[in-house]
Every structure is written in structure tokens, then in C-alpha cells.
Amino acid sequence: VDVAGAGCRGGALAAVAVAVVLLALASLPGLSRALRVPWEVVAGLTACVSLVEASDTSLGWLSLCLTVLGAAAAGVGLLRRDRRPYAVGGSPVIGLAYVTRLVASDIGVVEAYTMPFGILLLAAGVVRMVTDPRRSSSALLPGLGLVLLPSLPGALVDPTSLRGLLLALAGVVALAAGAIVRQKAPFLVGAALTTLLALRWAGPLVGDLPWWIPLGTVGLVLLLAGATWEARVRDARAAVSYVRGLR
């Protein structure tokens, strides 16, 4: 794509096409897990590459890529009963594409169009869990997504704005609430939001440092991880067990 001079838009479109094809191939009936999982991982990485390429062009193009990827994931989840998590993951991506399209249309306060419905969905999810306790993913994720995710594109563009600070605070609150009440949905959503915003805040600072400082830091972290590999494996297993134990 670069040789052909297609630019970032061509690269994003090519990566989206590859991700969709790999996702479709990984969902073929009868495919063994040994082949399916690597293809799904590569499809996910390629989708991330497409979004990075699209973010260098315009929000409208990013919205298009998000729509295609979200629709492909949701379609696979609806067509294959054993791939239902794709439908759960693809739906928020489509919602994020819609919000990105609103931002691209110079609508300043996107939350005015999404938060009222998100609050209603979140309240309905809380009522459902009180009357019919079950896993929080299906009950709370729709409301949490519609309340928090619409602010994410604007917060990533300007992380020091009021929107970015409020979203970071909401992510911390969701993370703490999920840990206190042992609910998986707010815990994971809060952890994802705080991680993304922390990386976005740290990005410019890391870029201003001499090249050898980030490189040396990464090398030191890898060296310490290798020296304490067994302890890190135990910590990772404990973290996975903790998340799995959440409702």
C-alpha cells in the first residue's frame, strides 16, 4: 500500500479487509482451536493497525473502519452460536463508530445524545441484577458502554480537557466499584479506560525523553521479569483467577 502511494487511508482500508477476511476464516465450521486462535489474534492485531492508520486521517474515516470491524464481529457472533462473544464485542464498536461520527460532525457535546439512554440502560441493568442476580456482563455492559465510551474519542484527542479528567475519574470509580462489589463489567471497563487514558497522558512525556531512557526502561523491566519469571507467572494466574471469580 505504501509503495502504491495510497497513504494512510489505503493502509487502513487494506488492514480492515485483511482483519475481516481472517476473522471470517477463523470462524469456519470445523476449524481446530490450534488454527482458530492464532488467526483470531492476528485479525485483532490487524484491526488495531487499521485503526491506528485511520486515526492519522480523519474521524470520519476512523468511524468507517470502526463500523466495518464492529459489523463483521457482530455478524460472526450472530451466525456462529459458539462465537457469541463476538456479538457482545462488536456491538460497542459499532456504538463507538456512531459516536466518532458525531464528533466528526462537529457536535461538541456528544454525551447529550448518548448519556440519557446510557443511564436508563444502566439503571435497568442494576434493577435486573437486584431482582435476578447473574453475571454482570449482560446486565451492566450496555449501560456502562453508552455512558462512558462516547467520551473516549474526545478524551483521547485532548486528555487534559475537562472531558478527559471526568472520564478518567469515572474510570477509576468504575474500577473501584467493580472491585468492591465483585462485578466483572465495571471492573474491566474501568481498568480499560484508566489504562488507555494513562497511556495517552504518558505518550507525549515519553516522546520528549531521550531515546535511550524508554529503551533502557523496557530492557530493565524485561530483565526483572525474566529474573523473577516464576513469581510473575504466579501473579498473572492469581490476577486471572480474581477476574474469573467476579460475577
Cβ atoms of residues 30 and 58 within 8 Å: no
Cβ atoms of residues 37 and 78 within 8 Å: no
- CA dist., res. 204 & res. 155, Å (int): 15
Other C-beta atoms closer than 10 Å to the C-beta of 242 total 12
C-alpha cell at 180: 468492591
What pLDDT does 247 receive?
57
Q: Where are the alpha helices (DSSP H) in the chain?
A: 7-26, 33-55, 59-79, 84-104, 111-131, 136-148, 152-157, 162-181, 184-208, 212-227, 229-245
Confidence band, pLDDT 50/70/90 cuts, at residue 104: confident
Confidence band, pLDDT 50/70/90 cuts, at residue 116: confident
List CB contacts of 39: < 8 A, sequence separation 6 or more: 22, 23, 25, 26
Mean pLDDT of the chain: 77
* CA–CA distances in Å: residue 241 to residues 167, 214, 231, 238: 28, 31, 15, 5
* CA–CA distances in Å: residue 32 to residues 28, 35, 39, 42, 76: 9, 6, 11, 16, 17
Out of 3-17, 35-49, 80-94, 207-221, least confident range: 207-221
- Given a cut of 60, whether residue 211 has pLDDT beyond it is no
Confidence band, pLDDT 50/70/90 cuts, at residue 6: low
C-alpha cell at 38: 492464532
What pLDDT does 67 receive?
86
What pLDDT does 221 receive?
65
- Given a cut of 60, whether residue 209 has pLDDT beyond it is no
- Given a cut of 80, whether residue 30 has pLDDT beyond it is no
What pLDDT does 236 receive?
57
- Given a cut of 70, whether residue 130 has pLDDT beyond it is yes
- CA dist., res. 98 & res. 95, Å (int): 5
What pLDDT does 194 receive?
87
What pLDDT does 225 receive?
60
- Given a cut of 80, whether residue 181 has pLDDT beyond it is no
